[in-house]
């Protein structure tokens, strides 16, 4: 995606009024809900991962599309060593 929306960094939402905060919280916490099928699929994936790892802890990451473009992580991403390098790059970025 070459949309500019994918190239922005993390920012904190700021509200100008207490009513704005309440309205945001009402929408996010009460209106935006995943469909039950999403929770069921997530539970299935989580159980399979837990079984495969025999209960050992694990870390999950989500990379924004803009990170791949900005940090040049797009090439040969289907190869395992490239994927591991990308995860290592993200861990390095998080530690800075």
CA–centroid distance for 42 within its chain:
14
Supply the DSSP symbol for 79: S
Q: Residue 84, exposed/middle/buried by CB under 10 A (0-12, 13-18, 19+)?
A: exposed
Report which of residues 83 and 32 the model is more confident about.
32
Report which of residues 18 and 78 the model is more confident about.
18
61 close to 87: Cβ distance less than 8 angstroms: yes
Per-residue pLDDT reduced to its tens digit, 52-87: 999 888 877 776 767 666 766 666 666 778 778 877
Domain spans, the chain: 4-95
């Amino acid at each position: 995606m070459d949309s500019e929306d994918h190239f922005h960094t993390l920012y904190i939402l700021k509200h100008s009024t207490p009513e704005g905060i309440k309205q945001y919280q009402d929408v996010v916490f009460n209106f935006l809900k995943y469909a039950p099928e999403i929770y069921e699929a997530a539970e299935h994936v989580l159980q399979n991962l837990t079984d495969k790892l025999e209960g050992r802890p694990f870390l999950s990451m989500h990379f924004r599309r803009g990170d791949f473009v900005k940090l040049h992580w797009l090439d040969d991403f289907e190869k395992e060593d490239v994927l591991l390098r990308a995860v290592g790059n993200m861990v390095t970025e998080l530690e800075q």
